[in-house]
Amino acid sequence: MGPASLDFIGVTKRYGTVTAVDNVAFRCEAGTLTTLLGPSGCGKTTTLRMIAGLELASEGKILIDGKDVTHLSAAERDVTMVFQSYALFPHMSVLENVMYGPRSSGIGKAQAAEMAREKLALLGLAGYDARLPSELSGGQQQRVAVARALVLEPSILLFDEPLSNLDARLRRKVREDIRALQKDLGLTVVYVTHDQEEALAVSDEVIVMSNARIAQMANPRELWNAPANLFVADFIGDANVVDGTITAVTGETAALDLGGASVEAPARGLTPGPVKVAVRPDALRLEPLGEGDAGGLTGKVTTASYLGKYMEYEIKTPLGELFVTAPADGGEVGAGARVRLLPKGHGIAVIPQ
Q: List residues near another protein by CB under 8 A.
A: 1, 40, 45, 49, 52-54, 56, 67-69, 71-81, 83-91, 100-101, 104-107, 132-135, 138, 141, 148-149, 152, 158, 160, 165
Q: Of 107 and 328, which CB lies nearer to another protein in the complex structure? A: 107
Give the residue with the Cβ less far from another protein, 149 or 228. 149
Sheet hosting strand 297-306, strand order edge to edge = 284-288, 338-343, 297-306, 310-317, 320-327
Nearest distance, CB of residue 3 and another protein, angstroms: 15
| All residues at 6 or more sequence positions from 326 whose CB lies less than 8 Å from its CB, including other chains | 282, 285, 286, 310, 311, 313, 332
Helix, strand or coil, per DSSP, at residue 175: helix
Is the Cβ of residue 63 or residue 328 nearer to another protein in the bound state?
63
> Least CB distance from residue 13 to another protein, whole Å?
13
Whether residue 227 contacts residue 238, with contact meaning beta carbons closer than 8 Å, is answered with no
d(C-alpha 272, C-alpha 36), whole Å? 34
Min. distance of Cβ 83 from another protein in angstroms?
5
Q: Please state, in angstroms and rounded to a whole number, the distance separating the CA atoms of residues 319 and 50.
A: 43
Nearer to another protein, 86 or 191 (CB): 86
| DSSP helix/strand/coil, 55 | coil
Output the smallest distance, CB 119 to another protein, in A: 13
Q: Where are the alpha helices (DSSP H) in 20-108?
A: 44-52, 94-104
Q: Compare residues 158 and 301 and give the one whose CB is closer to another protein.
A: 158
**CA pair distance 324, 260, nearest whole angstrom:** 17
Q: Show the beta-strand stretches assigned E in the chain.
A: 6-15, 18-28, 33-37, 59-64, 67-68, 79-82, 156-160, 189-193, 205-210, 213-218, 240-250, 253-258, 261-266, 273-279, 284-288, 297-306, 310-317, 320-327, 338-343, 348-351
Give the separation between CA 103 and CA 83, rounded to whole angstroms: 20
Least Å distance between CB 22 and another protein? 19
Residue placing its CB nearer to another protein in the complex, 51 or 348? 51
CB nearer to another protein: pick between 67 and 346: 67
Rounded to the nearest whole angstrom, what is the least distance from the CB of residue 158 to another protein in the complex? 8
Distance in Å, CB of 206 to another protein, minimum: 20
